[in-house]
Amino acid sequence: MRPRLTFWKLTFLFLMAAGVYATVLRFTRGLGASTNLSDQFPWGIWISFDVLCGVMLAAGGFTLTATVHIFNIKRMHSIIRPTILTAFLGYVLVCLALMYDLGKPYNIWHPLIMWNPHSVMFEVAYCVMLYTTVLALEFSPIVLERFKLEKPLKVVRAILIPLVILGVLLSTLHQSSLGTLFLIVPEKMYPLWYSPILPLFFFVSAIAVGLAMTIFESSLSAKHFGLHLELSVLQELGRVLIVVLGMYAILRVEDLANRGVFRLIFQPGYQTYLFWIEVSLALILPLALLLQRRVRNHPQGLYWAAVSVVLGFITNRMNVSITALEAGTGVRYFPKWSELAVTAMIIAGGFAMFGIAVKYLPMFPKEAVSETELGANALPALARAGLEHAGD
């Protein structure tokens, strides 16, 4: 156990050091010196990965709060806290990444008083601000419980349902608006990815990734924090995932056919290869895995299907925002080391904060049982596991 721990610690320290150096470079020498961005290619990996993928990976938050609090499916309650934590951390990190990418980050508050409702970016800015606030409030009971602050806890619990509804609405808007961003550049994008229904694609795939991320982080938490794996709950998420992926696949095929670009998927070339990597990871492989009962009922099978979905839709976001724009504008972009270093530091920081939160905050508390005692027979095992762990 000990040498592996040291290896990860070393990796973490290395990523942090490289990230700090890249940060210094970014804020003392400017975007030109710290990125491979250019007038021909003004958006790079900080937008493609840190923002587009970051928001997508946080989608478990609204997917699961809607499932538990709106649709009242109580057996999902046991995994809601780590999911909200992931979403909250995700949004905090997206805001952090924006501070690197914006040319004048100290003006980030400008949309508060300078309005342009015709701009998708204005919508994005408000969604980021408001939903980060909502997530902070949804996450706050966990911190308030830890410090036994009963009064504010009561206030947050009283407004929980309106808060959840607001969060689901904002997420729907935000996830889809990241697709809407690209609607204005039909001529600059490769036709395999430009589509008038990009907002719908981004929204449906966000739900798929939200479910996959919930399976992924629950499995990881079980493995690394010794928590009991709620397999029956994850299996159910796996079934819903099949339906959502199926819907996405149908939409994607119909869209390609409707726009008359179906032949492009068999035309050899760079874009076609990346299209097939994306579709294989996001749709074909996970559907092939999950549709077999044997795989779906096995923790490892579920885990790898979820990983494939996540990687597939990361590829999708990168294809929309990099591959498609490269093809349409005739330039090549590959991130500079400092762009990669900042991104790696942000990801490593996210993992570290998740670990710290699980260790010091009541992520699987006894209260969760009393909140959901109606029809939640699978809960006590996990709660017990959480309690045992809290003693560490």
Q: Is 325 an interacting residue with respect to another protein (CB under 8 A)?
A: yes
Candidates 161, 156, 160, 87; CA nearest to 128 is 87
Distance CA 201, CA 206 (A): 8
Distance CA 316, CA 279 (A): 8
Minimum distance of another protein from residue 138's CB (angstroms) = 15
Q: What is the DSSP letter of 28?
A: H
Count, residues near another protein per rule CB under 8 A: 60
Candidate residues 12, 43, 304, 351; the one interacting with another protein per rule CB under 8 A: 43
CB under 8 Å to 108, separation ≥6 — which residues?
98, 99, 102
Distance CA 111, CA 128 (A): 11
Candidate residues 1, 2, 5, 32; the one interacting with another protein per rule CB under 8 A: 32
Minimum distance of another protein from residue 216's CB (angstroms) = 26
Q: Are 251 and 204 in contact (CB under 8 A)?
A: yes
Residue with Cβ nearer another protein (29 or 224): 29
Q: What does the block give as tokens for 22?
A: 């890249």
Q: Is 188 an interacting residue with respect to another protein (CB under 8 A)?
A: yes
Distance CA 34, CA 47 (A): 15
Residue with Cβ nearer another protein (271 or 321): 321
Q: Is 114 an interacting residue with respect to another protein (CB under 8 A)?
A: yes
**Residue ranges in 357-386 that form contacts with another protein under rule CB under 8 A:** 374
Distance CA 224, CA 132 (A): 27
Q: Is 102 an interacting residue with respect to another protein (CB under 8 A)?
A: yes
Minimum distance of another protein from residue 136's CB (angstroms) = 20
Q: Is 72 an interacting residue with respect to another protein (CB under 8 A)?
A: yes
Q: Is 260 an interacting residue with respect to another protein (CB under 8 A)?
A: no
Per-position b or e across 319-351, b if 16+ CB within 10 A of its CB: bbbbbbbbbbbeeebebbebbbbbbbbbbbbbe
Q: Binding string to another protein for residues 161 to 180, with x set by CB under 8 A, is what?
A: x---xx-xx--xx--x---x
Q: What is the DSSP letter of 267?
A: S
Q: Quick one: CA dihedral 13, 18, 24, 30, positive or negative?
A: negative
Candidate residues 17, 33, 158, 288; the one interacting with another protein per rule CB under 8 A: 33
Q: What is the DSSP letter of 102?
A: S
Q: Is 107 an interacting residue with respect to another protein (CB under 8 A)?
A: yes
Distance CA 364, CA 371 (A): 12
Q: Is 55 an interacting residue with respect to another protein (CB under 8 A)?
A: no
Minimum distance of another protein from residue 29's CB (angstroms) = 8
Candidate residues 143, 183, 277, 387; the one interacting with another protein per rule CB under 8 A: 183
Q: Is 123 an interacting residue with respect to another protein (CB under 8 A)?
A: yes
Amino acid at 277: I
Candidate residues 20, 136, 185, 288; the one interacting with another protein per rule CB under 8 A: 185
Could you report how far apart the first and last alpha carbons of the chain are, in Å?
17
Q: Is 108 an interacting residue with respect to another protein (CB under 8 A)?
A: yes
Residue with Cβ nearer another protein (168 or 213): 168
Minimum distance of another protein from residue 241's CB (angstroms) = 21
Distance CA 303, CA 218 (A): 9
Interface stretch with another protein, choices 78-86, 116-124, 265-273, 354-362 (CB under 8 A): 116-124
Which class for 148: exposed (0-12), middle (13-18), buried (19 or more C-beta within 10 A)?
A: exposed
Side-chain-facing half-sphere of 39: CA atoms under 13 Å: 0
Minimum distance of another protein from residue 148's CB (angstroms) = 28
Minimum distance of another protein from residue 304's CB (angstroms) = 33
Residues of this chain that interact with another protein (CB under 8 A) are 27-33, 37-40, 42-43, 66, 69-72, 101-105, 107-108, 110-111, 114-125, 161, 165-166, 168-169, 172-173, 176, 180-181, 183-188, 196, 199, 325, 329, 374
